[in-house]
Amino acid sequence: MYIVIENLLQRLVTGIMVGSIYGLLCTGLGMIFGVIRVINFAQGELMMLGMYATMFLGGLIALWLSVGSAAGAYLAIFVVAAALGGVGWMIQKYLISHVSGFKASQSDNQGHFAQLILTLGLSLVISNGALILFGSSPRTVQSPLASSSVTIGPFSEGDIMIFLNQARGIGCLVAIAVSIVLYLIVQKTRLGITMRAAADNPKAATLMGIDIEKSYATAFAIGTAATAIAGGLIAMYYPFHPYTGFEFVIIMYAGVVLGGMGSMLGAFWGGFTMGLVQQLSTYFLPFQLQNATIFVLFLVVVLLRPQGLFGKNVERA
């Protein structure tokens, strides 16, 4: 009996930690998808770049500042986020803007098809480029945190003990903090308001003097930075390789749709649900099926609540 409870609690706690990180991952994508309405297939690859960059830069920072490898990696995550944010800005400004917005409004399907090809091509270039540069063998960010944990308990006269993996635990806290900051930026700042206006009605926003191309590029930059941070946090406990992006991009999109479009909170909770269900399912199902459960859940939600778990609008139903 205690074993059952202990197992479930352990998975619940792990699920909450992983879920928070996935939440940030989906928040990043949700910004891009929500503001620009562009499906960016390269988002997973940008995350993968974030993972490699965190690994290399983390090692360098640890050497320069002579701090521990973990501290080096966490510092690196934010430098990498800024750099990849810049990359995201350029992708929107120099690539995607060619086939979206007013330029594409004259073509059939508003350039959606072209956007897909462009981002698919980009994802191929990045993932295969990474293969050339980094090789195909899986890598991890070396730090003691991945294999050390904090113990909670014992409860019930020593029968129940829960382990918190440190890499996941810190990742969870960082992810929640970053998500809150992003939320505040979007809700409270002038920047956020212009972005939301551009998302809601690009034409009206333009007439109000908002430079929507700039808003789009900013949203892309922030979204990419958020994804890069989440990628760095995942890299602290999960081995990655040049094709890791493919694995995650599906989870990211499923999370965004699951949560329901329109609000960043929806994207966060969508990702959170993904992580939580994925971890909990390992208790009931064989390991190979843990990712299958999240897609079954996803389809059930689509069937019962097309607007998503937390979405209000029925625009897509």
Partner 1 sequence: MLMPVTKGPQLAMIGVVSAVMALGSLWISDPYYQLILSTVPIWATVALTWNLFSGYTGLISFGHATFFGLGAFTVALLFIKLGISPWYGLMLAFIVGACASVLIGSITFRLRGHYFAIAMLAYPTLFIFLFDWMGWQELTFPIVRDHPMQFMQFKDGRAYTLMGVGLMTLTLLLTLFIERSRFGLAMMSIKQNEMAAQAAGIHTFRVKMMGFVLSGALGALVGGFHAVVLQVVTPHGVLGTVVSAQALILTLFGGVGTLWGPVIGATVLVPLTEGLRAELGHILPGIQGVIYGLTIMIVIVVAPEGLYWKVRDILHRKNSASPELKKDRKNITWVSDGAKRIQSTTTILRVEGISKAFGGLQALKNVNFEVYENEILGIIGPNGAGKTTLFNVLNGFQIPDAGVITFRDNITTGQGPHQLCSVGMGRTFQVSRPFLRMNVFDNVLVGALGVCKNSEDAKFLAQQALDMVGMSEMNDQSIQSLTNLELRLLELARALASQPKLLLLDETLAGLGTAEVDAILQVIHHLPSQGITIVIIEHTMQAMMRLVDRMVVLDHGQVIAKGLPQKVMNEPEVINAYLGKKWMTLHASH
Options 89, 253, 269, 310; binder of partner 1; rule CB under 8 A: 253
Place of tokens 């459960």: 293
Q: In whole angstroms, how close is the CB of 166 to partner 1 at the nearest point?
A: 29
Q: In whole angstroms, how close is the CB of 170 to partner 1 at the nearest point?
A: 30
Q: In whole angstroms, how close is the CB of 114 to partner 1 at the nearest point?
A: 4
Residues 22-41 that bind partner 1 (CB under 8 A): 33, 37, 39, 41
Shorter beta-carbon distance to partner 1: residue 169 or 242: 242
Both tokens of 99, joined, read: 């086939």
Does 151 engage in binding with partner 1 (CB under 8 A)?
Answer: no
Shorter beta-carbon distance to partner 1: residue 150 or 289: 289
Q: In whole angstroms, how close is the CB of 141 to partner 1 at the nearest point?
A: 22
Rounded to whole angstroms, the Cα distance separating 138 from 136 reads 6
Options 66, 108, 190, 207; binder of partner 1; rule CB under 8 A: 108
- Helices 212-235 and 43-64, interaxial angle, to 10°? 60
Residues 213-242 that bind partner 1 (CB under 8 A): 242
Site string for partner 1, 283-302 (x = CB under 8 A): ---x-xx-xx--xx-xx--x
The closest alpha carbon to 276, from 34, 73, 19, belongs to 19
Options 75, 130, 212, 229; binder of partner 1; rule CB under 8 A: 130
Shorter beta-carbon distance to partner 1: residue 64 or 113: 113
For the chain, state the CA radius of gyration.
20
Options 113, 148, 180, 211; binder of partner 1; rule CB under 8 A: 113
Q: In whole angstroms, how close is the CB of 106 to partner 1 at the nearest point?
A: 7
Q: In whole angstroms, how close is the CB of 132 to partner 1 at the nearest point?
A: 4
Options 63, 65, 82, 121; binder of partner 1; rule CB under 8 A: 121
Q: In whole angstroms, how close is the CB of 150 to partner 1 at the nearest point?
A: 32
Shorter beta-carbon distance to partner 1: residue 130 or 198: 130
Would you tell me how many other CB atoms lie within 10 Å of the CB of residue 184? 11
Rounded to whole angstroms, the Cα distance separating 79 from 70 reads 15
Residues 67-106 that bind partner 1 (CB under 8 A): 95, 98-99, 104, 106
Options 167, 254, 277, 280; binder of partner 1; rule CB under 8 A: 254
The count of chain residues that interact with partner 1, using the rule CB under 8 A, is 54
Residues that bind partner 1 (CB under 8 A): 33, 37, 39, 41, 95, 98-99, 104, 106-109, 111-114, 116-118, 120-125, 127-132, 136, 242, 246, 250, 253-254, 256-257, 261, 286, 288-289, 291-292, 295-296, 298-299, 302-303, 306, 316-317
